[in-house]
Structure 1
Amino acid sequence: MNEKKRALLSVSNKTGLTDFAKDLTSLGYELVSTGGTKRALEEAGLDVLSVSEVTKFPEIMDGRVKTLHPAVHSALLAKRDNDTHMDQLRKLELDAIDMVVVNLYPFKETIAKPDVTEEDAIENIDIGGPTMLRAAAKNFKDVTVLVDPEDYTTVTDALKNGELSMEVRKRLAAKVYRHTANYDAMIASYFTELTEDDYPETYTVTYEKAQSLRYGENPHQTAAFYKEASTTGASLASAEQLNGKELSYNNIQDANAALEILLEFSKPAAVAVKHMNPCGVGTGESIEQAYQKAYEGDPVSIFGGIVAVNREVDLTTAEKMKEIFLEIIIAPKFSADALEVLKQKKNLRLLEVELEKPVHQPRKLTSVSGGVLVQDTDQGSLDDVELKVATERKPTEQELEDLKLSWQVVKHVKSNAIVVAKADQTLGVGAGQMNRVGAAKIALEQAGEKARGAVMASDAFFPMPDTVEAAAEAGITAIIQPGGSKRDQDSIDACNKHGVAMVFTSMRHFKH
């Protein structure tokens, strides 16, 4: 048997490869490689054995079969303290492999391409790489296994000072199994989508760590932020932070809520969020006008909140935003002079998010004790339904516009939810109450005298007419709600009695 230690290297990501390989050579390792990795090492002036020289078998089937061979896997799986294993290697004239350095075909990058074909995706499913990684990780006590270039220096520094500790070996093996699990999960997800199997017998998802967080919802809770493997477009995971402290757990939750509401609007809009509920939403001819309406919708609650807008933040809008304490401002862009103004607040987090490419999120996951709930995301909108006027009086054109705004917002308010709106602006939001009339009273009280001539949206039907009575007393002139209660007629009669128009959507927007 060869007394030299042997390292097998086969990587798609060649970051730091040649420097690492030179270190291994200086430490007495013989290098084995194949394909592009072998060429890169040889171009760096290193001596490299081909895998075919080790296996005594050619690469075949366009490289589909090259490392899938007993000469490789016996060399990886042989337990060094097992005399039978080592005798078998000697009899077969096989040399042990002491290190495996592998990262996999770029499946994630391949399927992210807009013009990817099924054939391209399949050809980028790595077979030999994961097999070697799993074998080496299983035998981590004897084989060093690396899948991440970030670990190269850790390994060479340790080897220069002696040997890798068992703790480090185990950590590297754990990283391998996470890596291969992540890889397999992406492939499984791709094929599940291809076969349109909405809710398969097992549900495997994978996320990559975006950042550690100082704590969770409260200081005694630990937390981290993970993102989907391929994330682009209108998401917090792909946002660029231009100013301010790192986002906290609660910041991310609130910012995501603001972004989801913002994506409901195509014309200039501004959304203010506090504790994952909108406290003010406004639309207008300009982003300055929209922000002013959102601010005036609830000038108390917006303090310390998060604002998201769907147009570039200009200087005038920035100066208005600077007047109050905000945690985060989200926008597709900030003008140079707006940035100069807002950056004067060093802790104000400024996030640029590409809104033109909404993120495709077909599933929503909610953890529960011992499991997870999976459902379609609520993509429903008024474009998907035919509004039905249930009352004697029809809403005016202006009321109809106001009803649409209130409905776009109530969809994102914690149930039971009521939104009062008028003239491109929310005036009152009642969120998360145990009864619907309670939510209505909060929204109406917040709106105050402005409720006269305004409209109201309810995320679910009225089980009794008390909400209509409260709305009419406050001066509400039109209501939008799903309908579908056994007692719908009671609410219709109450509306007719007070001259209030009411339309049914036949679509509910519970948000628990």
Structure 2
Amino acid sequence: MADLKKMYTTILGDHFPMEMKITFGDQELVYRKKTWKIVAEDGSVDERGVRYGENPDQEAALYELINGNLVLGDCRFIEPGKGLVSGINVEDMLQVGKHPGKINLTDIDNGLNIIKYLMDRPAAVILKHNNPCGAACGDTLARAYDRANRADRIAAFGGAVILNRPCDKETAELLSKNYLEVVCAPEFEAGSLQILAARKNLRVVRISRIDRLAEYEKYRYVDFKSLIDGGLIVQQSAVNSIRSVADLKPAVSISKGQEYKVEREPTQREIDDMLFGWAVEHGVTSNSVIYVKDGCTVGIGTGEQDRVGVADIAVYKAYTKYADILCFDTFGIPYADMVLEIEQGKRKKADQEKIDGQTKADKAGLPGSVMISDAFFPYRDGADVGIRQGVSAILQAGGSMRDFETIQACNEAKPQVAMKFTGQRSFKH
């Protein structure tokens, strides 16, 4: 068992070259491998790159773009000198914890990919396995983080937290109560690092350029997908074009010469949640459906093969997480621990019945939420899942031959459900 545990903390090392060049016709991009000279507990200095890849037996390397100005057609791609994750220096590793691995870095990156659209107010995103498990805005950074954490306290365990404001002492106190892998922020205010230091294995990373993250909204980068035969698929990176109410499109469809349109317009609160939810969707593995409410995720369904299935999964997760946080607030223990104590005869079954009853009565906080789908609903059954739970509005891409059915579902709902189209799909594979 000791050897099995050791493999997760061992720095594998790599044989990747220090420099990599990629040629696009007569244009060239030049990358330099990132390594860090890190002081060990015994005082020795070890210069290494990424600890290992997705698994402990996979070598990996991080490269930073250092030269090249790629232009293909009308697209000018991001230029050197704008490093975020790839620009992390040893001075930015304010607390090393365990040497960073590939998953830590890609979680930070996708957190930045989401939060770059939420820079107008304090926001926090918590990620696991390159998907958000909780995202929220708040009047303060501490409030934003607390809401994101409470949205899915279970999945947040061992997660990576990305903050878009300097971490203050109040936020650090909340962070220190959780087991986390990474905390990343543009800066850490006086006293916050001392609080976080209580978590010895926590990686604390400063990325100073986060305060300019809104500039990255329109930057395109070359997105590579490697195939098992050694081939590559190359695409432009995605850009979220739904940034204001003016970008939302009316939910209108014509079928067999008849026009169908949603009868109720969304409120300002629903519009705000649509824009927030679409920003979060930008970093969720497809097929995905999420529910958001008052600038906070309620349920996140990711990576499912069918849309009605992922809508159901997001509801299931909302109920599971709601029951857990309700149990934690009421009894001070996770829901799973309560169930175990009941099975062991240490607690009365009535405690579980109380939590389950309240969760069912509250419908896990889903009533009044906004349902976000990263693509169109091929049938109305996906939208019906959310409508039955009491969502008040829906945002989806639109463009299905059966859009009229989903429009009918919104108009038939009591009370009626508002809906807007984006005209943009937000797939992420």
Taking the TM superposition and a 5 Å limit, the aligned residue runs for 1:103-252 are: 182=21, 201=25, 204-211=28-35, 212-229=49-66, 231-233=80-82, 235-239=84-88, 240-243=92-95, 244-252=97-105
Taking the TM superposition and a 5 Å limit, the aligned residue runs for 1:318-337 are: 318-337=172-191
Instruction: Look up the match of 1:140.
Output: none
| 2-structure distance, mates of 1:234, 1:260 | 13
Instruction: Look up the match of 2:370.
Output: 455
Residues 391-420 of structure 1: per-residue CA shift (max 9 Å, x gap): 111111111111111111112100001110
Is 1:467 aligned with 2:382?
A: yes
Query: For 2:61, what is the secondary structure of its paired residue?
Result: strand
Taking the TM superposition and a 5 Å limit, the aligned residue runs for 1:34-433 are: 182=21, 201=25, 204-211=28-35, 212-229=49-66, 231-233=80-82, 235-239=84-88, 240-243=92-95, 244-266=97-119, 267-353=121-207, 354-358=209-213, 360-368=219-227, 369-383=229-243, 386-390=247-251, 391-433=262-304
Q: Which amino acid is the alignment partner of residue 224 of structure 2? A: L
| 2-structure distance, mates of 1:287, 1:397 | 23
CA-based RMSD of the aligned residues comes to 2.2
| 1-structure distance, mates of 2:55, 2:98 | 18
8 Å contact from structure 1 (residues 234, 356) kept in 2: no
Aligned CA distance change for structure 1 residues 410 and 314 (closer, same or farther; 3 Å):
same
8 Å contact from structure 1 (residues 213, 249) kept in 2: yes
Aligned CA distance change for structure 1 residues 434 and 350 (closer, same or farther; 3 Å):
same
- Higher relative contact order by CA 8 Å / sep ≥ 6: 1 or 2? 2
Instruction: Look up the match of 1:44.
Output: none
Query: For 2:94, what is the secondary structure of its paired residue?
Result: strand
8 Å contact from structure 1 (residues 241, 350) kept in 2: yes
8 Å contact from structure 1 (residues 262, 269) kept in 2: yes
What TM-score do the two structures reach when normalised by structure 2? 0.71
Query: For 2:52, what is the secondary structure of its paired residue?
Result: coil
Residues 298-338 of structure 1: per-residue CA shift (max 9 Å, x gap): 11111100000100111011000000100000100001200
8 Å contact from structure 1 (residues 234, 355) kept in 2: no
Query: For 1:329, what is the secondary structure of its paired residue?
Result: strand
Query: For 1:508, what is the secondary structure of its paired residue?
Result: coil
Query: For 2:194, what is the secondary structure of its paired residue?
Result: helix
Instruction: Look up the match of 1:131.
Output: none
Aligned CA distance change for structure 1 residues 234 and 343 (closer, same or farther; 3 Å):
farther
| 2-structure distance, mates of 1:394, 1:460 | 20
Unaligned runs of 5+ in 2: 1-15, 36-48, 68-79, 252-261, 320-362
| 1-structure distance, mates of 2:226, 2:27 | 13
Of the structure 1 ranges 216-225 and 298-307, higher mean CA displacement relative to structure 2 is found in: 216-225
Of the structure 1 ranges 242-251 and 378-387, higher mean CA displacement relative to structure 2 is found in: 378-387
Residues 369-397 of structure 1: per-residue CA shift (max 9 Å, x gap): 33222222112221386312321111111
| 1-structure distance, mates of 2:240, 2:165 | 24
| 2-structure distance, mates of 1:245, 1:232 | 27
| 1-structure distance, mates of 2:211, 2:369 | 32
Is 1:501 aligned with 2:418?
A: yes
| Amino-acid identity (%) | 37
Query: For 1:483, what is the secondary structure of its paired residue?
Result: coil
Q: Which amino acid is the alignment partner of residue 241 of structure 1? A: M
Aligned residues: 322
Is 1:434 aligned with 2:311?
A: no
| 2-structure distance, mates of 1:487, 1:380 | 25
Instruction: Look up the match of 2:401.
Output: 486
| 1-structure distance, mates of 2:268, 2:318 | 22
Unaligned runs of 5+ in 1: 1-173, 189-199
**Structure 1 position 204, deviation (Å):** 4.6
Residues 208-265 of structure 1: per-residue CA shift (max 9 Å, x gap): 1113333221122222222222554461112321102221111112111112111111
| 1-structure distance, mates of 2:405, 2:106 | 39
What TM-score do the two structures reach when normalised by structure 1? 0.60
| 1-structure distance, mates of 2:225, 2:28 | 14
Q: Which amino acid is the alignment partner of residue 102 of structure 2? A: Y
| 1-structure distance, mates of 2:199, 2:185 | 17
Query: For 2:126, what is the secondary structure of its paired residue?
Result: strand
8 Å contact from structure 1 (residues 233, 357) kept in 2: no
